[in-house]
Chain A
Amino acid sequence: MFSGLMLTAWESASIVAVVAGVVGFFIVLRGSAFAAHALPNGAFAGAAGASLIGVDAIAGLAVFSILGALTIAALGRRARHDVATALVIVVMLGLGSLFLSMTTEYAPEIYSLLFGEVLGVSSSELIPIAVIGVVAIAAVFLVYRPLMLSSVMPDVAEARGVGSTRMEVIFLVVVALTTTMAVPVVGALLIFSLLISPAAAARSFTNRPFTAMGLSVLIALGTVWSAIALAYLSNLPIGFFVGSIGALTYAAGRGWAGRQRNRGSTPRLGAPGRSAARAQST
Chain B
Amino acid sequence: MQGRAVNGSDEILAVDGVSVTLSGREILRDVTFHINAGEFTGLIGSNGAGKTTLMRVILGLLTPSAGTVRVESGSRGRSLIGYVPQRITLDPDMPLRARDLVGLGIDGQRFGLPLPSSMRRKQVDEMLDAVDATRFADSRVGNLSGGEQQRILIAHALISHPRLLLLDEPLANLDIGSEQEVVDLLARIARQQRIAVLISTHDMNPLLPVMDRIVYIANGRIATGTTAEVVTSESLTKLYGVHVDVIHVHDRILVVAGRREEALQHGGNESIVELV
Contact = CB atoms under 8 A, between A and B. Distances in A.
B251 interface: no
Contacts of A29: 91, 94-95
Nearest to B87: A155
B81 A159 contact: yes
A231 B203 CA distance: 65
Given A207-B96, A208-B97, A153 B88 contact: yes
Given A145-B104, A153-B85, A282 B109 contact: no
Interface string B137-158: 0111000000000000100110
Interface stretch (B6-14, B111-119, B172-180): B111-119
A159 B156 CA distance: 13
Interface string A251-282: 00000010000000000000110110011001
A164 B93 CA distance: 22
Interface residues of A, number: 38
30 contacts: A29-B94, A141-B112, A142-B112, A144-B112, A144-B113, A145-B107, A145-B112, A146-B109, A152-B96, A155-B83, A155-B88, A156-B84, A156-B85, A157-B109, A159-B59, A159-B61, A159-B85, A162-B108, A202-B95, A203-B93, A203-B94, A203-B95, A207-B97, A207-B138, A208-B100, A209-B100, A211-B95, A212-B95, A278-B125, A279-B134
Interface of B: 59-61, 79, 81, 83-85, 88, 90-91, 93-97, 100-101, 104, 107-114, 125-126, 129, 134-135, 138-140, 153, 156-157
* Top-9 shortest CB links A-B: A149-B108, A212-B95, A275-B134, A155-B85, A203-B95, A159-B83, A159-B59, A160-B109, A207-B140
Given A156-B85, A282-B129, A207 B108 contact: no
Q: Which of the listed residues B60, B81, B85, B96 has the most CB atoms from chain A within 10 Å of its own CB?
A: B96
Contacts, number: 99
Given A148-B104, A257-B93, 14 more contacts: A29-B94, A145-B114, A148-B108, A149-B109, A156-B84, A156-B156, A157-B109, A203-B93, A203-B95, A204-B93, A209-B100, A211-B95, A212-B95, A275-B135
B109 A162 contact: yes
Contacts of A103: none
Contacts of B85: 153, 155-156, 159
Contact of B126 (A141, A153, A212, A282): A282
Contacts of A152: 90, 94, 96, 101, 104
Interface of A: 29, 31, 141-146, 148-149, 152-153, 155-162, 202-204, 206-212, 257, 271-272, 274-275, 278-279, 282
Contacts of B60: 159
Contacts of A156: 83-85, 153, 156-157
Contacts of A202: 95
Contacts of B156: 156
Contact of B79 (A143, A160, A203): A160
Nearest to B100: A209
Contacts of B95: 29, 202-203, 206-209, 211-212
A266 to B, nearest CB: 15
Given A152-B104, A207-B97, A207-B138, A143 B111 contact: yes
A142 B109 contact: no
A155 B62 CA distance: 13
A162 B140 CA distance: 24
B153 to A, nearest CB: 8
Contacts of B110: 145-146
Nearest to B114: A145
